[in-house]
Copies of this chain bind each other. A is one copy, B any other.
Amino acid sequence: MVTKKPTTIKDVAKKAGVSISTVSRVINDSKPVTNEVKQRVLDVIKETGYVPNPLARSLVTKKSQLIGVIVPEVTDTFSAEVLNGIEEISKMYNYDILLANTYSERELEIKNINLLRAKQVEGIVMICWDIDQEIVNILENSGIPAVYISKTTRDFDIYNVSTQNAPATRDMTQFLIDKGHKNISLLRTNYHISNLADARLQGYKEALSENNIEYNDKLVKSCGATYNDGYATAKELLNEGTKPDAIFATSDEAAIGAINACFDMGYKVPEDISVAGFNDVKFAKIYRPKLTTVYQPLFDMGAVAIRMIIKVIQGQDIGEKKVELPYRIVDRESVLDRNE
């Protein structure tokens, strides 16, 4: 490990026989510089391997070129795929990602917002299952643009990207009904949301009533979004004696958990019970049976979020604070057509 202290703008200036402002001009291309001088500076820069210190630059420009990203944890497949989108677009705009995990702990969420803020990030993308008004306030008062990527649409006044949850859930429910299912269990993965606020639950109910199927309380369960949550909740459901012919879990991980619960209780999927998920995470196509699910453009959600932030940073108007991206039902193997 060679520890030579890095060349500064001063070194370059001296070596090139110009003033530091001239060097600054050529590296930022901010003001015209005679070609000959410019070349001389460029040569010295190449020769010395000089790289401007962004810290110093940020201090004066007030632009850190940093964007904070808060996720539950990177091993969460939903977050990881969104994060990919964020990362790629950020780099395009010369921004870097400062990463923070929350493990879905509210305290850590707040702590990390403040921490990132202190680190001078120019914007924050927050991915989590749900937020409340207090967190919205903290985000708003941070004085920097923040966008919230949720698995659900909430009516907070905050930049938000999501998919159309109610229609998506309605469509999948309809899809299940079309395939001949009557007793469709809904595993709601956003359990801290009141029924009324839950767009997905509404979508589910809508489809039911459009098809004159009575809403059955026993078939609707709240659970977390993880594999374990889905597994446990499906098991609970099955143990209660109301055997559904389909389980619709609003997260792929929970859906896969549900499938395994079915397996472990002696049911075949999809022969005995169909299972559908939500998100179309990478793993959905790998698992067997391949998961029938509603596709969400995860990568794009991250990309859109970043673009919003960058626009706000640049002072552009971005119109609607909430953007909803398209979804699509992906029919694979975990749902059986019972009409045949």
Does chain B have a CB within 8 A of A196? no
Neighbouring B residues of A51 by C-beta, 8 Å:
114, 117-118
Does A100 contact B87, Cβ atoms closer than 8 Å? yes
Does chain B have a CB within 8 A of A277? no
Q: Of B1, B52, B84, B115, which is within 8 A of A101 by CB?
A: B84
Interface size, A (range): 35 or more
- Over the window 69-93 of chain A, the binary record of Cβ atoms lying under 8 Å from chain B Cβ atoms (1 yes, 0 no) is 1000111010011011001100100
- Over the window 91-133 of chain A, the binary record of Cβ atoms lying under 8 Å from chain B Cβ atoms (1 yes, 0 no) is 1000011111100000000000011011110000000000000
Copy total for this chain? 2
Does A56 contact B59, Cβ atoms closer than 8 Å? yes
How far, in whole Å, are A256 and B287 apart by their CA atoms in the complex? 9
Does chain B have a CB within 8 A of A58? yes
Binding stretch for chain B, among A9-17, A138-146, A148-156, A239-247? A138-146
For this complex, 20 residue pairs linking A to B, each with C-beta atoms less than 8 Å apart, are: A1-B145, A2-B141, A2-B143, A51-B114, A51-B118, A53-B59, A53-B120, A54-B118, A54-B120, A55-B58, A59-B59, A74-B84, A75-B80, A84-B101, A87-B100, A96-B98, A96-B99, A97-B98, A98-B98, A283-B283
Interface residues of A (CB under 8 A from B): 1-4, 6, 51-56, 58-59, 64, 69, 73-75, 77, 80-81, 83-84, 87-88, 91, 96-101, 114-115, 117-120, 140-141, 143-145, 227, 256-257, 260, 263, 282-283, 286-288
- Give the 4 A-B residue pairs with the shortest CB-CB distance, closest first: A75-B80, A97-B99, A74-B80, A51-B118
A-B contacts besides A54-B120, A55-B55, A74-B83, 16 pairs, CB < 8 Å? A2-B140, A2-B143, A51-B118, A53-B118, A54-B119, A55-B58, A55-B64, A59-B59, A74-B74, A74-B87, A84-B101, A87-B100, A96-B119, A256-B286, A260-B288, A263-B288
